[in-house]
Amino acid sequence: MVPTTYYLILSAVLFTLGALGVVLRRNVLIIFMSVEMMLNAVNLTFAALARHFLQLHGQIFVLMAMAVAAAEVAVGLAIVMAVVRHKDSTNVQDINLLKG
Amino acid sequence: MLDYAWLILAFPALGTLIIAFFGTRLGRRAVGFLAPAMVFLSFAVAVALFMELLGLPAEERQHELVLWQWMAAASGPGATGSFNVDIALLIDQLSVTMALVVTGVGFLIHVYSAGYMHDDPRHPRYFAFLNLFILMMSTLILANNYLLMFVGWEGVGLASYLLIGFWFEKPSAADAGKKAFIVNRIGDFGLLLAIMIIWTGLGTLQFTEVSKALQGFQVPGTLEVPGTFGSGALSLTAIRAATLLMLLAATGKSAQIPLFVWLPDAMEGPTPVSALIHAATMVTAGVYMIARSAALFDLAPVTGEWVAWIGMATAFVAGTIALTQTDLKRILAYSTVSQLGFMFVAVGVGAYAAGIFHLMTHAFFKALLFLGAGSVMHALHGELDIRKMGNLRTKLPITYWTFLAGAAALAGIPLLSGFFSKDAILFYAFEHAIPLWVAGIITAFITAFYSFRMVFMTFWGQERDKKLHSHAHESPRVMTVPLILLATGAVVAGYVGLPSISAIDAWLEPVFHAGEHAAEGVAHNLTLEMILLAVSALVALGGAFLAYRAYIADRDLPKRARAAFGPLTGLVENKYYVDEAYNLLIVEPLRALGEWLAATFDKRGLDGAVNGIAGLTGWAGAQVRRLQTGMVGLYALAMLFGAVALAAWLVTR
């Protein structure tokens, strides 16, 4: 059986990659995908720890997070569509209406 | 019946409320009927009270009527240091006499007003104010304690402000209203301080309790009053201070030196208002208050001296000013100030009944004169300059005859009301101090002269302005009937106070000298009084004759007199420059101080603080806005750092 530590390390790596992607990338779709990656890294942790402690709470959290993520994707992609139609760009640096 | 005395207050209060809320909907006729009717009902109650008091023996003619508890800071029933004031009325000889005068004369003035103010666009408002005034004046005279009296005192001040400034489109009327109110306020603070002194010393504000507490004390020494608040003693110094402060209050309300300046200006109001407020009722409040505080004033003879001499000086100064005025209403205004001076002389020398007697006769003849002046003004389309009048007696016969009766009563022509009341005052002044009497006789001469100057200039001689004269017409009945009734009063009111068998003295005396003094004050020297009576009769006739010489027979006399007095004429014509002096000494410095404060304190201090805070906030915002770069990556990074920092804190704490 694969030790739980491995899952956690993988999860940490995925989360960091996702976070770096969110911070460093400019393309709004890539940032969006990075966010999904962070979510799934967390999901992995939940699942791994649920297996480790032999408890179902973690698994249920995963399902929950996936449902929320699905909804979030629907809303997020709609926003992206609207922005693209408006600005004809997917670069987040062009979306700066809130600049003080 | 005595328990229904509150109706005197209830009727005008009801009238005020109805007219204030529904006046415009009710229409002119209804309002013009309702307002006088309410005052008439009050008058009827006052008459009933008077009749009932007459039927009682003298010792029982004092009735307290507690309506409800007003304020109570009691630490137990009757405990020391408790402060209890009730809304309560005192029905006795003095208050009923005052109530008869106020509601009786007030009613006639209301009726007259219904005619006089008929075409005014703010007709209901006028009558609401007029009823409010009667309500406040009745509160003042019927109150059984100083605090409730103070409510009425302030209330008439308010009502007079509203009525003097009734035609507020005219800046002069608005200014006159403000002036009356502010000058009165100076006096009011004196009354408030006096009330505080009385309460601190005696622990009560009820008139009857105050005079009971002070009964039997002689002038020297300190008064130990048992069972009262604080030290339990009202020292003579405190009494002196309280009475002097009351005198200040009275000079404000009753227009005496140094606070008389508001009354002549108050002639800017409608003429019936002048008759009501500045002749018959409000200005007499000071005299009433001093008479009501007789127990205190008896213990402070120094203050009495002040009262008498201030009254005499005012009577003389105002009388001389009245000689030179050419505006009919202003002559009457200064004459009112002068007559109030006489009343002050009376209460100052301790002849309270004589003061109230003159107050009563004066209410009749001065209200009559003011309303007569209003009738003349009505006939001449608002003209009040007596130099443009003349020969009006054929055009305005009723106004002429009634005005003549009033002027003769004012002048003190024998057998009219003013003759008896003024003579009573002069008699007591003579007994008190001869110089006071001499000054009084001179003033009486001046009074007679200017009274008949008014009559001759207005109603006799040749018409000076043909156009005005040809358009003149007698006033409607609603105005002339009150004139006739008041004229009757002006002629006969004096007979309640005939020398030596003075009914009014006997009637009022128990109020002022409860118990021991009662017999003492009545003992007159009849021969002396008759001699003085003859002298003042001669003086009055002499004044009238001189006026005839100067304004009918020998027209050049005024010019020669003017030349003979030289610079003095200018001084008097300009009213002794009192207004100018007050302007220079008080108004201008205050204005300068106000402007300085506005420029430095307000503009720099307050505005500076407010603007400074606004500026600081704006500057802080400008600094903070730089954080909002609009770069999403940066926000995400900040969020990440935040999350990491939060996690670190959660883990390490």
Say whether pLDDT at B631 is over 50.
yes
Say whether pLDDT at B204 is over 60.
yes
Top-confidence range, B206-215, B282-291, B493-502: B282-291
φ, ψ at B66 (rounded to 5°): -85, 120
CA distance B636 to chain A (A): 6
CA distance B643 to chain A (A): 11
Interface of A with B (CB under 8 A): 19, 22-24, 26, 31, 92-93, 95-100
Question: Which residues 6+ apart lie within 8 Å of B318 measured at CB?
Answer: B260, B334, B335, B337, B338, B341
Question: Which residues 6+ apart lie within 8 Å of B635 measured at CB?
Answer: none
Query: Which residues of chain B make contact with A92, given a CB cutoff of 8 A?
Result: 631-633
The least confident of A21-25, B5-9, B368-372, B561-565 is B561-565
Query: Which residues of chain B make contact with A22, given a CB cutoff of 8 A?
Result: 636, 640
CA distance B617 to chain A (A): 16
| C-alpha to C-alpha distance for A79 and A67, rounded to whole angstroms | 19
The residue among B475, B487, B470 whose CA lies nearest residue B116 is B475
User: What confidence tens digit (pLDDT) does each residue in B112-165 have?
Assistant: 998 888 888 888 999 999 999 999 999 999 999 999 999 999 999 999 999 999
| C-alpha to C-alpha distance for B462 and B457, rounded to whole angstroms | 9
Query: Which residues of chain B make contact with A30, given a CB cutoff of 8 A?
Result: none
The DSSP code for B410 is H
pTM of the model: 0.78
User: What confidence tens digit (pLDDT) does each residue in B224-279 have?
Assistant: 544 444 444 567 788 888 899 999 999 999 988 888 888 888 888 898 998 888 88
> pLDDT class for B530, splitting at 50, 70, 90?
confident
B625 and A24 in contact by Cβ < 8 A?
no
CA distance B605 to chain A (A): 33
| Per-residue pLDDT, B58 | 78
B629, B632, B634, B640: best to mutate for the A interface, most A CBs within 10 A: B632
Residue B424 and residue B351 in contact, taking contact as beta carbons nearer than 8 Å: yes
The residue among A27, A59, A23 whose CA lies nearest residue A44 is A59
User: What confidence tens digit (pLDDT) does each residue in B35-68 have?
Assistant: 999 999 999 999 999 999 888 887 788 888 888 8
Burial B293-302 (b: 16+ CB within 10 A, else e): bbbbbbbbee
Structure tokens belonging to residue A49: 């720890």
Residue B223 and residue B231 in contact, taking contact as beta carbons nearer than 8 Å: no
| C-alpha to C-alpha distance for B420 and B409, rounded to whole angstroms | 9
C-alpha radius of gyration, chain A, whole number: 17
What percentage of chain A has pLDDT greater than the value 90? 66
Query: Which residues of chain B make contact with A93, given a CB cutoff of 8 A?
Result: 631-633
Structure tokens belonging to residue B141: 């005279």
C-alpha radius of gyration, chain B, whole number: 30
- What's the mean pLDDT when you consider all of chain B? 85
| C-alpha to C-alpha distance for B48 and B62, rounded to whole angstroms | 15
> pLDDT class for B463, splitting at 50, 70, 90?
confident
CB atoms within 10 A of CB B567: 7
Structure tokens belonging to residue B520: 């003492």
Interface of B with A in 620-639 (CB under 8 A): 624-633, 636-637
* Strand bridging mode B84-92 / B62-72: antiparallel
Q: Does B78 touch chain A (CB under 8 A)?
A: no
- For residue A98, give the nearest of B624, B628, B633 by CB distance: B628
CB pairs under 8 A between A and B: 35
| Per-residue pLDDT, B219 | 52
A100 and B629 in contact by Cβ < 8 A?
yes
Task: Give first-to-last CA distance, chain B, whole Å.
Answer: 87
Query: Which residues of chain B make contact with A97, given a CB cutoff of 8 A?
Result: 630
- What's the mean pLDDT when you consider all of chain A? 90
| Per-residue pLDDT, B201 | 78
The three-class DSSP label of residue B83 is coil
Segment B557-569 mean pLDDT: 77
| Per-residue pLDDT, B2 | 81
A20, A22, A30, A87: best to mutate for the B interface, most B CBs within 10 A: A22
The DSSP code for B143 is B
| Per-residue pLDDT, B268 | 87
- For residue A23, give the nearest of B628, B629, B633 by CB distance: B633
Query: Structural domains in chain A?
Result: 4-94 (1.10.287.3510)
- For residue A96, give the nearest of B624, B631, B637 by CB distance: B631
Query: Which residues of chain A make contact with B628, given a CB cutoff of 8 A?
Result: 98-100
CA distance B596 to chain A (A): 43
| Per-residue pLDDT, B651 | 94
How far are the Cα atoms of B44, B59, B91 from residue B3, in angstroms, in the given order?
A: 15, 18, 9
What percentage of chain B has pLDDT greater than the value 70? 93
What percentage of chain B has pLDDT greater than the value 90? 36
Among chain A residues, CA nearest to B636? A23
Residue B311 and residue B368 in contact, taking contact as beta carbons nearer than 8 Å: no
- For residue B637, give the nearest of A23, A26, A92 by CB distance: A23
A93 and B631 in contact by Cβ < 8 A?
yes
